[in-house]
Amino acid sequence: MQARVEGAIGYVQQHSRVAMLAAKVPTRFGSQATTDFVHKKNYLWYSEDTSGKWSTAHERMQPAYAPLLLATLLSHNIPLPRVH
């Protein structure tokens, strides 16, 4: 379970960092970029399951998981990984 959580945190950090680099904003906006990515990932990105139904992560998973992940990232002030 710990590896899954660490993998999810790394996934969010990587995408937040790439979004900041693409937008050419300073890294001090990391917490805002993380919040923005988590909201977009949970509410805007649709994917299709095997039965052909389209749904978002928010619809598929427990809504309590994403705020927990976001709170973990922001409360521990976890630095975003460098993208080379």
* Per-residue pLDDT at 49: 76
* Per-residue pLDDT at 36: 83
pLDDT tens, residue by residue, 7-52 = 888 888 888 888 888 888 888 888 888 888 887 877 777 778 778 8
Give the global pTM: 0.55
* DSSP per position, 11-77: HHHHHHHHHHHHHT--GGGHHHHHHHHHHHHHHT-EEE-TTS-EEEHHHHS-TTHHHHHHHHHHHTT
